[in-house]
C-alpha cells in the first residue's frame, strides 16, 4: 500500500486530485456536455410549452386555476418518482430525463410569465390601443417585452434547478455529471464525486450569469429607470423567492 504503487493522489484517493483532472479529461468533458445538453433542451422544451399555456391562461381566465393547479401538482412530485413514472412511456432514455425536467420547469415559467403579463401597466396597454395597435401587435410589442423581467426571473430559477436536478437522471443512466457522482459513490472515488459536484455548481452559476446578461440586453429601458424603480423590483423578487420552493 505504501511503496510499490505510485504514491500519487489517485492512489491515495484524495478529494482534490490534479491527476484525476488530466487523466479523465475526456470523461469529464463528455459528462459536462451531456449535462448542459439535457438542461438546455429541457428548459427550452419547458419554455415552448409554458408560453402558450400562460397566454391561454391570460386570454381565457377560467383556465388559470386548472393550469396553475396541474403544474403545481407536477412540481410536488419528487424527482426520483417523476423519472420513474415516465419510465413505461420513454424507457431508459435521455428523453425521459428531458421530459421530467421540462415538467418541473413549467410551474416556475408559467407562474412568472403570468405575473409579468399581469404586471404590465394599464396605461401602456391603453396607449397602445390609442395608437391603433391590434391585439396581436400589442401582445408582441408591448405586453411580452414588459413581461420579460418577471419571466426571466422564473427562467433563471428553472434553469439553475434543472442543472441540479439533472444529476438524479443518473438512475436511468442519463444524468450527465450525476453519472460520475453515482459511479464515484459505488467505487468510493472521492476525487470524481467532488469534481463532478463542483462542476455542477459551476455550470449552474454560469447559466445564471448568462441569463442575467441576456435579461439586461433584452430590457435596455430598465437601465435608464433603474435608480428610481430598482427598489420596488428588488422587493418583488424577494417575494417571488418566498413562494417558490426548491425541487429535489
Partner 1 sequence: MNTLSAVWTWLTTAANWSGENGVWNRLEQHLVLTFSCLVISALIALPVALTLGHLGRGGALAVNLANIGRAVPTFAVLVLLLLTPIGRYGQWPTIIALVLFAIPPLLTNAYVGMREVDQSVVRAARGMGMTGTQLVWRVEVPLAFPLVLTGIRIAAVQLVATATLAALVGGGGLGRIITAGFNLASTPQVVAGAVLVAVFALLMEGAFELAQRCAPGWARGRIR
How far apart are the C-alpha atoms of 170 and 152, rounded to whole Å?
Answer: 28
For helices 25-59 and 64-76, angle between their N-to-C axes, nearest 10 degrees: 150
164 binds partner 1 per the rule CB under 8 A: yes
The total number of residues written for the chain in this structure: 248
CB of 146 to partner 1, least distance (A): 25
Q: Of 144 and 236, which has the nearer Cβ to partner 1?
A: 236
Which of 28, 84, 145, 217 binds partner 1 (CB under 8 A)? It is 84
Q: Give CA separation, 116 vs 28, 54, 58, 157, 216, in Å.
A: 39, 10, 11, 15, 16
- Verify binding: residue 85, partner 1, rule CB under 8 A: yes
Residue 194 C-alpha cell reads as: 467532488
- Asked whether position 160 contacts partner 1 by CB under 8 A, the answer is yes
Rounded Cα–Cα distance for residues 38 and 16 (Å): 27
- Choose, by CB under 8 A, the member of 77, 148, 214, 218 that binds partner 1: 77
Q: Which three cell numbers stand for residue 122?
A: 394599464
Judged by CB under 8 A, does residue 241 bind partner 1? yes
Which residue number, 138 or 166, has a Cβ lying nearer to partner 1? 166
CA angle 137, 142, 143 (to 5 degrees): 100
Question: Which lies closer to partner 1 via its Cβ, residue 110 or residue 182?
Answer: 182
- State the distance between the two ends of the chain, measured CA to CA, in whole angstroms: 40
Number of residues that bind partner 1 (CB under 8 A): 48
Instruction: List Cα–Cα distances, 169 to 4, 98, 235, in angstroms.
Output: 39, 9, 35
Residue numbers 179-208 binding partner 1 by CB under 8 A: 181-182, 184-185, 188, 190, 193-194, 196-197, 200-201, 204-205, 208
**Interface contacts to partner 1, rule CB under 8 A:** 73, 76-82, 84-85, 87-88, 157, 160-161, 163-168, 170-171, 178, 181-182, 184-185, 188, 190, 193-194, 196-197, 200-201, 204-205, 208, 238-239, 241-243, 245-248
Amino acid at each position: 500500500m505504501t511503496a510499490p504503487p505510485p504514491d500519487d493522489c489517485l492512489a491515495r484517493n484524495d478529494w482534490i486530485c490534479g491527476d484525476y483532472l488530466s487523466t479523465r479529461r475526456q470523461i469529464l468533458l463528455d459528462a459536462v456536455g451531456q449535462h448542459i445538453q439535457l438542461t438546455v433542451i429541457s428548459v427550452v422544451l419547458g419554455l415552448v410549452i409554458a408560453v402558450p399555456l400562460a397566454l391561454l391562461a391570460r386570454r381565457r381566465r377560467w383556465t388559470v386555476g386548472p393550469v396553475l393547479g396541474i403544474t403545481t401538482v407536477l412540481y410536488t412530485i419528487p424527482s426520483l418518482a417523476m423519472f420513474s413514472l415516465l419510465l413505461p412511456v420513454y424507457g431508459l432514455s435521455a428523453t425521459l430525463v428531458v421530459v421530467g425536467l421540462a415538467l418541473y420547469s413549467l410551474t416556475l415559467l408559467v407562474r412568472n410569465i403570468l405575473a409579468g403579463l399581469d404586471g404590465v401597466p394599464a396605461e401602456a396597454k391603453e396607449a397602445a390601443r390609442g395608437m391603433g395597435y391590434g391585439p396581436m401587435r400589442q401582445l408582441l410589442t408591448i405586453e411580452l417585452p414588459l413581461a420579460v423581467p418577471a419571466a426571466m426571473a422564473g427562467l433563471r430559477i428553472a434553469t439553475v434547478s434543472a442543472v441540479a436536478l439533472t444529476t438524479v437522471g443518473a438512475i436511468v443512466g442519463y444524468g450527465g455529471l450525476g453519472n460520475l457522482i453515482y459511479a464515484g459513490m459505488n467505487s468510493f472515488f472521492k476525487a470524481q464525486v467532488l469534481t463532478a459536484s463542483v462542476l455542477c455548481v459551476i455550470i449552474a452559476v454560469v447559466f445564471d450569469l448568462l441569463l442575467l446578461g441576456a435579461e439586461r440586453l433584452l430590457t435596455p429601458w430598465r437601465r435608464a429607470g433603474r435608480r428610481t424603480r430598482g427598489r420596488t423590483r428588488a422587493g418583488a423578487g424577494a417575494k417571488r423567492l418566498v413562494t417558490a420552493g426548491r425541487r429535489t
